[in-house]
Amino acid sequence: MQRQGLGPRAEGIENDMRKLNKLAACGAMAATLVLSGCRQDMHDQPKFFPQRGTDFYADGRSVRPQVENTVARGQLHEDAYFYTGLVNGKEGDGLPFPVTMAVLERGQERYNVYCTPCHSRVGNGIGMIVQRGYMKAGSFHSARLETAPLGHFFHVITNGYGAMPDYASQITPEDRWAIVAYIRALQLSQKATEADVPAGQKVESLASIAKKQGLPESDAEEWKLPPTAVTGTPDGGLYVLPTPGASGTTSGAAAPSRAGSTTPSGTPGQTVPKQ
């Protein structure tokens, strides 16, 4: 095809390009030949295959053990308290960062997601799963837990506690601390006096809040486990439901109450067979 509008200069450039293309093709071919030679060498060179033994090292392992105290990127965890809640192996008291309203709100939100199924929104340990048979979770309003150091709650969330599984993989350390802060607020909320609130504000009783919201009077009383709440023991024996308020149980006498009158009451101390 006759090209139009191309001057002698443009045609010259086109010729040059053709030559260059030829050169590049030759180069590529040469490189392929050279590299395939190299590949063979590299293929045959001495090397370790993963998980295969070797006589190069005295211990016969080709996979070398990690150098002691190796720290993976992003896992330095310099602030030990932030990650463990422990000070010299003991549960510390205090939050590793300042408590703001945003922290408490985040804690409330995470608490409602992860803890309420067993501990309930008010923290009395009679959440929905417990009402349906899971072991009664401790009430946060027992004298022991009201005075427990904050590190204890962090430690329990991180490592689990008795029948409670740990939540280390679901909840980040920062969120765990936010939950801890919220639990302390929840505990204080049940014992607030006029002295704790700004002048002029009134502390309202649960009974009066329940009344205002049109809830039954029993809403402000101690929650009772329904008779359907049965739980087994590891040895297959009988399980005695703890009597609320009895010594040795964690169902604090001051536990807030929200059970509606529709909730059937369990008989405290009843013996139920393992299901």
- Using rule CB under 6 A, residue 118 touches ligand HEC: yes
Among positive and negative, which fits the CA dihedral 231, 235, 238, 241?
negative
Map tokens 């995470």 to a residue. Answer: 110
**Crossing angle of the two packed helices 173-189 and 150-159, in degrees rounded to 10:** 130
- How many CB atoms sit inside 10 A of residue 197's CB? 11
- Using rule CB under 6 A, residue 99 touches ligand HEC: no
Q: Which is nearer to ligand HEC, 156 or 220 (CB)?
A: 156
CA 181 to chain centre: 15
Q: Which residues pair with 240 in a beta bridge?
A: 271
- How many CB atoms sit inside 10 A of residue 154's CB? 25
Q: Which stretch binds ligand HEC (CB under 6 A): 131-139, 218-226, 252-260, 262-270?
A: 131-139
One of 81, 83, 114, 239 touching ligand HEC (CB under 6 A)? 114
| Residues from 31 through 50 that contact ligand HEC (CB under 6 A) | none
- How many CB atoms sit inside 10 A of residue 53's CB? 13
Contact 226, 127 (CB under 8 A): no
- Using rule CB under 6 A, residue 185 touches ligand HEC: no
- Using rule CB under 6 A, residue 135 touches ligand HEC: yes
Q: Which is nearer to ligand HEC, 85 or 210 (CB)?
A: 85
Q: How many residues bind ligand HEC (CB under 6 A)?
A: 21
From the CB of 115, what's the least distance to ligand HEC, in Å? 3
Contacts with ligand HEC, residue ranges (CB under 6 A)? 114-115, 117-119, 129, 134-135, 137-138, 153, 156-157, 161-164, 167, 171, 179, 250
